[in-house]
Amino acid sequence: MNSIATRYRTGLTVAVALATMIVIAGLVVGSPTIERVIPRLPDPPGTLVALGLAAVAAVTALVVLVVRGAAAARTSARRAALESVYAGEVSCGIRNGDLAARLDQLREPGSKAVALSSRFSIVADAAGISFWVGGRRPRRAAMFVWREVRNIRSDSTVVGSASVPLAVLRIRRAGTSIELPMVLSDARAGHYALVDGPFYAVVRAWKAKHRAALAAEGLELPPLTAPIPIIRQDQPAA
């Protein structure tokens, strides 16, 4: 039932996107004719100008909604596909310039450049931690086995005027040691980044899988550290 609903939502989103693209393409193709006709028209009253501006704003808003809806549908379909195959922790990340550049530095010689979508999926299972893009048929963009992960910690960055938590992985590969800063996405409508308890739950799950995998191979375990607790304004400091 869920797969049918997902396909229906995806099809509806694609149909709306195609209709919007056709309208925009028609405006682009017919722009020379429009430019010739408009100067011959009488000066419109103020009401018509306001209506025209409102129509442009409405079309712009519709395009933005369609694009975001399509991206959300792809993210949901990708997550469902990954959860049906992998037993590990599946999270959603938000692309940032530092992460994309550093992943590219860690790619294996001869492999393609790492291309992350604006929202990508992260799978942490017994084998390691991997980054996925695509929709119903996910494509793996990067993969690191647990022995390549030196440590996992939490940090923060500023996005706009807000402080957003970061999950930071230090990866060592072929003599190169690089930190990967990741902003985790909140799947709830109207929210941007994952924060507070849900964020730290993901970090703890990653740490647990990391330590379990290293212990199974008889490798040295990283120092055991816990995420920094959050002190709220209505909560007395210890």
What is the C-alpha separation between 199 and 227, in angstroms, rounded? 10
**Between β-strands 176-184 and 119-124, what pairing exists: parallel, antiparallel or unpaired?**
unpaired
Local structure of 32: helix, strand or coil: helix
Quickly state the pLDDT bin for 167 (edges 50, 70, 90): very high
pLDDT in tens, 204-236: 999 999 999 998 888 777 766 555 455 455 555
* N- to C-terminal Cα separation, the chain: 49
What is the C-alpha separation between 83 and 73, in angstroms, rounded? 15
Domain range annotation of the chain = 2-80, 91-216
What does the pLDDT read at residue 30? 60
Residue located via tokens 């025209």: 52
Mean pLDDT of the residues in the chain: 77
Q: Is the pLDDT score of 180 beyond 90?
A: yes
pLDDT in tens, 181-206: 999 988 766 677 888 888 999 999 99
| CATH fold group of domain 91-216 | PH-domain like (2.30.29)
Q: State the Cα angle at 186 between 184 and 187, rounded to 5°.
A: 125
What does the pLDDT read at residue 179? 94
User: Any idea which of 18-22, 101-105, 163-167 has the lowest mean pLDDT?
Assistant: 18-22
Query: The whole model's pTM is what?
Result: 0.65
- From the list 135, 147, 118, the residue with the least C-alpha distance to 210 is 147
**With pLDDT > 70 as the criterion, what percentage of the chain qualifies?**
67
Better-predicted residue by pLDDT, 158 or 32:
158
Q: Is the pLDDT score of 238 beyond 60?
A: no
DSSP at 19 = H
